[in-house]
Structure formats: C-alpha cells, structure tokens
Amino acid sequence: MADTSFDLIVLGAGPGGYVAAIRAAQLGMKTAIVERENLGGICLNWGCIPTKALLRTSEINHLLHHLGEFGFAAENPRFEIEKVVKRSRAVAKQLSSGVGFLMKKHKITVFDAEGKLAGKGKLQLAKNGTALPAIAAPHIILATGARARELPGIEADGKLIWTYRQAMVPPAMPKSLLVIGSGAIGVEFASFYRDMGAKVTLVEVLDRILPVEDEEISAFARKSFAKQGIEIATGASVTAVKKGADSVTATIESGGAKRELTVDRVISAIGIVGNVEGIGLEGTGVKVERTHVVIDEFCRTGEPGLYAIGDLVGPPWLAHKAMHEGVLCVEKIAGLNDVHPLDTTNIPGCTYCRPQIASVGLTEAEAKRRGHEVRVGHFPFIGNGKAIALGEPEGMVKTVFDAKTGELLGAHMIGAEVTELIQGFTIARTLESTEAELMETIFPHPTVSETMHEAVLDAYGKVLHI
C-alpha cells in the first residue's frame, strides 16, 4: 500500500507547485504532490511554453515574408497550421515529461488525483469521482492555479469564442479575429495571429493597451502594432455577440457609439480567476478576496499549517513569481534563517509579442506617485549597431532613477529579445545598484544590451550614441 503520511504535501503541480516539492525534497522532507491533470500545470502545458513555440513560428513566418531585406528570395512561403500546432504540443509534452523525471529523481510521490482538504493536515484524494485513500502532512501548500475569466454573455464555447486553450490549438487558421483584452495574453495572441496572416482587432476597456506597462512603452507598442495592421480600440468594450454558423458578430461600444464587427473567431483574454472552489477551504481560516487566497509575506494563510502560492494568490500572476514563492515558502517551513519576503517590484514582467516587451520595478508615473523625484533616461534601438545589423531597429529602453539616491527604480524595454535583456536590470535592482555601478559596468560591443547602458547614461546627461 502506498504511503499516506508525509512531511509536506503540495496540491497542484504547476511551476510553483513542482518547484516547491523539489525544494522540500532537497531539504530532506518526505514530500508528495497531487495533480489532477498534467505535471507542469497550465504554464507548461497550456500557457508559457507552448505559446512561445507558437510565437517562434509566427516570428519565422514574418521573416520569411521579408527575406528580400536580407538578400534572399523565396516564392510563396506558406505553413500548415496542423504542423504548427503539433510542434507546439510536442514541446509542451517534452517538458511535462521532464517534470515527471524530476519528481522521480527527487523521490517525490506523485498522486494522479484531485485533492480536497478534509480536516487539519489531511487531504482527501479522488479520481474520476472515486474516492482514494486520504493522505496527511503537517504542512500543505495550495498551488491550484487559476483559469480564464469569462465575460457574462461572451462565455467561451470552444468553437467560435476561445480562451487561451482553444487559441493554441486552432483546427484551421481564421482569416479574422477579435481579441478582447490587451494584457500579455491578449497581445501575444494578437501578435501571433497577425504575423500568421489573420486580420486582427484588439479591444481594451481601459484608455491604453498593456495598461500595467509604462505609458511610453504602451504608446510605442500601439504604434508598432498599428503599423503591422492590427486594429486597436481602447476605451472600448464588447457588449454583445451574435454567433453565426462559422462567424461571430460583436457589438463594440466606445464613447457612447456602437459598431458591429464580424470575425471568424473571438479570443477572450480578460484576466484570470483563482481556482479556490472544490478544495475544501470552507470551515478553515483561509481568507479569499476576489477569487484569490490571502497570504502573508511567507505564503502562510490564516489556517496554521496551510500555505498558498502562485496564481492562486495575489499578483503579479507569473510563473517565475510562483516558483520563487514555492522556494521561500518551503524554506520558511524548514526553518532556514536567511529567507527573505518577496519584493514584487523586483519581479520582471515579459510579453513575447513582436516587438517584445519587458519591465521591472516602478513605472515613471508610479515612482512619482510614491513621492520620488526622478531622473529618466531613454535610448532607441535605431542608435544601436547590433540592432540595425539584425534588422531589428524598432525599440527603446527607458530607465527611471531616484534623483536623490541614484536607486534604479524601474526599467522598461520594447524591442527584439528584451525579454532576455531585462534580467540585467533585475539583478541590478536585487543588488540595490545605483547609477554609479551601472555606468561603470562595461557592456560588450556589439550587442543589443548596450542600449541598456546608454539608457542609464542618458538619465545623467552622459549618453554617447544619440
């Protein structure tokens, strides 16, 4: 009979859950993880990873249609959407199998089941409606993640109205799309489908796209997307949809005016809802606010011995934030003395559209709102030799410093591969670097990373190449 008693149980095997389980095993805890669907969770199977495979495909498709700029010629480049989807799914499957290997390597017991709290330190398991033996541990981490939020009257049906899941596995390439919501998910799908040839309309209820980004980055992105042919409506909402046999007619309202738009498919990308139902929170000391579990700085809930991490808890809802929470939560449980609370301003955010967008820390507006006197630097990609050589001159880097202390308050980037570059500024913030260290740092030439150095120099009137 399988073990039913553990030191630690993790409910949910997404990025936060499986990393928490690995760290617990490393620290000598007898660990179990419970997952009802796929190891790796939404991120690995239906989010972060397979979407990047799709976006790589759309990037290649874009390049194939601009071969002449690089001296090549090719007639009628085309793709087969079935093979595009197949590759994306294969990438996800490979990595999910990798998580399974890690569970075996660290001797973590994996339960293929649903789990529900059933009293202090106890988790009742079930599979396909059939109860399985309960398991117990003095510490239980909830990592059940989240799902797509749906608009009343515009619920996804899997055929004409899609969430991210259906958008990743289209049976055929739609000729036209309406994307509702311009956060990272909405913008990435808008970018993918546009670069694959679809006519795309992007609708955002707020006054600008990518509303969590710095205003200058949002404005730059809007101009870039519009140049690519994406129609953008801000300060607008979809108030109704009428389904046809193979199309959807949406009513879009903006400033009191209404118009109708008929498209092949609609993608709803308006945020997420925490998976708090059906996991036995009733009768516990766990507090839920707006579908997300409330925790303290070490991921503890209001119920002793019960913790929560990842998309189930507060923003930002990012895989790397969930992983970090999983590690710090387990290390605190283990009694390590050097565990630091998570500083959310040091969490980088990345959007993998074309051009890419990345940021860390405070926007200029937020820094001013918090009372900082700021120094701001900018540097355009057009002033960078490597960016021009790559054929990627569209982009910019913006830095925000505290004028009195030189603290790097925030960094904001748009352009080719900035999702890889942002970690330099993230390390700088973690090390509490000032402008002095950043200006003294030698950046290799020729690289796109030199734009980062120049944006720092610009904030202090020392920029060299503009």
Give the alpha-carbon dihedral of 13, 15, 17, 23, to 10 degrees: 120
Residues 366-379, mean pLDDT to the nearest whole number: 98
Look at residue 342 and tell me if it is in a domain.
Answer: no
Catalytic option among 372, 445, 453, 465 = 445
Domain assignment present for residue 287? The answer is: yes
pLDDT at 181: 97
**Assigned domain for 152 exists:** no
Residues 18 and 89 in one domain: yes
- Show the beta-strand stretches assigned E in 264-355: 265-268, 272-274, 288-289, 292-293, 306-308, 349-351
* 28 and 127 together in one domain: yes
Question: Is there a domain that residue 426 lies in?
Answer: yes
Comparing CA positions, the residue from 30, 206, 182 lying closest to residue 107 is 30
The CATH number that applies at residue 402 is 3.30.390.30
Across 195-224, average pLDDT:
98
Residue 251 and residue 236 share a domain: yes
Structure confidence at residue 395 (pLDDT): 98
Q: Is 445 one of the catalytic residues?
A: yes
Could you tell me the pTM of the whole model? 0.95
Q: In whole numbers, what is the pLDDT of the chain averaged over residues?
A: 96
Let me know whether 46 and 83 are in one domain: yes
Are residues 285 and 259 located together in one domain of the fold?
A: no
Which of 251, 270, 289 is the last residue in one of the domains? Answer: 270
Query: What was the pLDDT predicted at 2?
Result: 66
287 and 141 within one domain: yes
3-state secondary structure 55-87: HHHHHHHHHHCCHHHHCCCCCCCCCCHHHHHHH
Are residues 122 and 19 part of one domain?
yes
What are φ and ψ of residue 142, in 5° steps?
-90, 120
- The pLDDT tens digits of the residues spanning 427-437 come to 999 999 999 99
pLDDT band at residue 1 using 50, 70 and 90 as cut-offs: very low
Residues 371 and 451 in one domain: yes
- Domain shared by 278 and 261, yes or no: no
Section 136-156 average pLDDT: 95
Query: What pLDDT is recorded for position 43?
Result: 84
**Residue 65 belongs to a domain:** yes
- How far, in Å, CA of 435 to CA of 240, rounded? 51
Mean pLDDT computed over 374-400: 98
The verdict on 284 and 135 lying in the same domain is yes
Residue-range definition of the domain harbouring residue 397: 355-459
Would 184 be classed as within a structural domain? Answer: yes
Q: What is the pLDDT of residues 39-97, one digit of tens each?
A: 999 888 888 999 999 999 999 999 999 999 999 999 889 999 999 999 999 999 999 99
Give the chain's domain count.
Answer: 3
Tokens of 453: 């150095």
Task: Tell me, yes or no, whether 309 and 377 share the same domain.
Answer: no
| Statement to judge: residues 13 and 114 lie in one domain | yes
1 belongs to a structural domain = no
Domain membership flag for residue 338: no
